[in-house]
């Protein structure tokens, strides 16, 4: 008897998970849509949906258009059921954003980071201040927040608590989850920023519909998220995707990680600015920070042959790096994201051309190379999906 009850409970949770995931990613949908897309029976869909409406998890969203007969009612995730916080811990700033359950942005705050001062305690303090700020702005009680997702530079070692290894920040086995958890009772979910960007683009952006894709994050640093058969590839200890630290030029420019010739040493924002400064024979680049300096480079390229050459070289280096991704992983899509990639978006045709010269012809012809669709907020948005991904997997049951 106990076994039968446990089996029925497991089946019901699995059905809830399937229906919730479909509504979250593709809603609003009718009950008939859910029957067709999940393969569940009409009674099973009706029973589970009724329960979720009673719980306030799902809401009716008006009648669907009808060609005649009784119109079907559309269903959607209830936006105010719970709230989500996404955090982007970059190398130049910490961005904290609050979303409702339909992933509508409600509040946002940023804290600049001095590249020379990225101590873990300081970063944790910014995250905690941001959580308090965005919930206060939106009038959301902490108890209504499902969880906090955090995308961070470096390798995130998952375990009983997440530990971050980020050589570029000077972080070695930093217990980031413990540091932040000391100041909040909210559930924490920490992952690499390129991986959270990839999840956001898979769910809501340029990756929708793809089973095999690579999402490249180009900002101050460079990373990637590799999705194969619909799932993020992590490797033995979750460090897969450190694309920025693959070798582009043997014995080449010194990278922040300490090695020579890494891709990041050529196409990361800091490296691009350094190459531009060198091309100007040491003259400083206008701008107070990396973002304004990259913008100055792009603007200068309209009249300066030196600036144009730096951008042309950047497109070539980036194209060669993309070609390596195509040759290694045979993706349907390569999506370029991150603030620097967006700022250099006009280089996309040149990046495609350079990738075509370096990649094997057959996999290159099968792959599209495009910019991310979610902009500079993609890392924080993807981070906010971390708690909801677990919630959906567990059938919409709050732990």
User: pLDDT of 276-298, one tens digit each?
Assistant: 999 999 999 999 889 999 999 99
Question: Which one has a higher pLDDT value, 2 or 184?
Answer: 184
Centre a 10 Å sphere on the Cβ of residue 77 and count the other Cβ atoms it contains: 24
CATH code for the structural domain at 83-197+378-394: 3.30.420.40
Predicted local confidence at residue 61, as pLDDT: 83
Predicted local confidence at residue 349, as pLDDT: 97
Q: Looking at the predicted structure, is the pLDDT value of residue 3 above 60?
A: no
User: pLDDT of 22-38, one tens digit each?
Assistant: 999 998 999 999 999 98
CATH code for the structural domain at 8-77: 1.10.10.10
Report how far apart, in Å, the C-alpha atoms of 61 and of each of 262, 319, 345, 356 are.
51, 45, 37, 46
List the domain boundaries for the chain. Answer: 8-77, 83-197+378-394, 208-373
**Residue 72 buriedness (CB in 10 A; 0-12 / 13-18 / 19+):** middle
Q: Looking at the predicted structure, is the pLDDT value of residue 399 above 70?
A: no
Beta strand segments in 160-257, E:
163-166, 171-174, 188-192, 213-218, 222-228, 231-232
User: pLDDT of 308-327, one tens digit each?
Assistant: 999 999 999 999 999 999 99
In this prediction, residue 86 has a pLDDT band, given cuts at 50, 70 and 90, of very high
Q: Looking at the predicted structure, is the pLDDT value of residue 397 above 70?
A: yes
In this prediction, residue 213 has a pLDDT band, given cuts at 50, 70 and 90, of very high
In this prediction, residue 67 has a pLDDT band, given cuts at 50, 70 and 90, of low
Predicted local confidence at residue 166, as pLDDT: 86
Write the CB contacts of 126 (distance below 8 Å, at least 6 apart in sequence).
94, 96, 111, 113
The answer to whether the 8-77 and 208-373 domains have the same CATH topology is no
Q: State the average pLDDT over residues 70-74.
A: 79
Predicted local confidence at residue 90, as pLDDT: 87
| Cα 15 to the center of its chain, rounded Å | 27
Q: Domain 208-373 is of which CATH architecture?
A: 2-Layer Sandwich (3.30)
Predicted local confidence at residue 250, as pLDDT: 96
Question: Which one has a higher pLDDT value, 115 or 19?
Answer: 19
Q: Looking at the predicted structure, is the pLDDT value of residue 164 above 60?
A: yes
Q: State the average pLDDT over residues 132-137.
A: 97
Beta strand segments in the chain, E:
29-30, 58-63, 73-77, 83-89, 93-100, 105-112, 145-152, 155-157, 163-166, 171-174, 188-192, 213-218, 222-228, 231-232, 333-337, 368-371
Q: What is the mean pLDDT of the chain?
A: 92
């Amino acid at each position: 008897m106990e076994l039968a009850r446990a089996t029925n409970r497991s089946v019901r949770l699995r059905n809830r998970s399937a229906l919730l995931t479909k509504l979250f990613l593709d809603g609003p949908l009718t009950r008939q849509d859910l029957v067709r897309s999940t393969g569940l029976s009409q009674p099973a869909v009706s029973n589970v949906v009724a329960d979720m409406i009673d719980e306030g998890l799902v809401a009716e969203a008006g009648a669907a258009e009808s060609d005649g007969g009784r119109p079907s009612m559309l269903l959607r995730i209830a936006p105010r059921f719970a709230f989500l916080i996404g955090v982007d811990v970059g190398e130049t700033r910490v961005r904290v954003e609050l979303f409702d359950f339909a992933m509508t942005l409600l509040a946002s705050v940023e804290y600049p980071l001095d590249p020379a001062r990225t101590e873990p305690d300081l970063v944790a303090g910014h995250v905690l201040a941001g959580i308090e700020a965005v919930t206060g702005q939106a009038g959301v009680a902490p108890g209504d927040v499902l969880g906090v997702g955090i995308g961070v530079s470096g390798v995130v070692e998952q375990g009983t608590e997440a530990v971050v290894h980020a050589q570029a920040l000077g972080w070695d086995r930093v217990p980031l989850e413990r540091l932040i958890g000391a100041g909040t009772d909210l559930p924490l979910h920490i992952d690499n920023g390129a991986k959270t960007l990839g999840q956001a683009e898979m769910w809501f952006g340029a990756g929708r519909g793809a089973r095999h894709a690579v999402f490249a994050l180009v900002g101050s640093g460079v990373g990637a998220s590799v999705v194969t058969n619909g799932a993020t590839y992590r490797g033995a200890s979750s460090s897969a995707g450190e694309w920025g630290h693959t070798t582009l030029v043997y014995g080449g420019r010194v990278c922040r990680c300490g090695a020579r010739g890494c891709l990041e040493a050529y196409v990361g924002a800091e490296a691009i600015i350094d190459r531009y400064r060198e091309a100007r024979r040491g003259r400083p680049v206008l701008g107070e920070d990396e973002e304004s300096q990259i913008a100055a480079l792009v603007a200068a390229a309209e009249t300066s042959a030196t600036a144009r050459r730096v951008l042309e070289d950047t497109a070539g280096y980036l194209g060669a790096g993309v070609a390596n991704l195509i040759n290694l992983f045979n993706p349907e899509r390569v999506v370029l994201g991150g603030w620097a990639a967006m700022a250099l978006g006009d280089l996309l045709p040149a990046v495609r051309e350079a990738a075509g010269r370096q990649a094997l012809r057959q996999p290159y012809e099968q792959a599209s190379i495009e910019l991310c669709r979610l902009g500079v907020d993609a890392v924080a948005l993807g981070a906010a999906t971390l708690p909801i991904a677990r919630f959906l997997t567990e059938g919409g049951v709050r732990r």
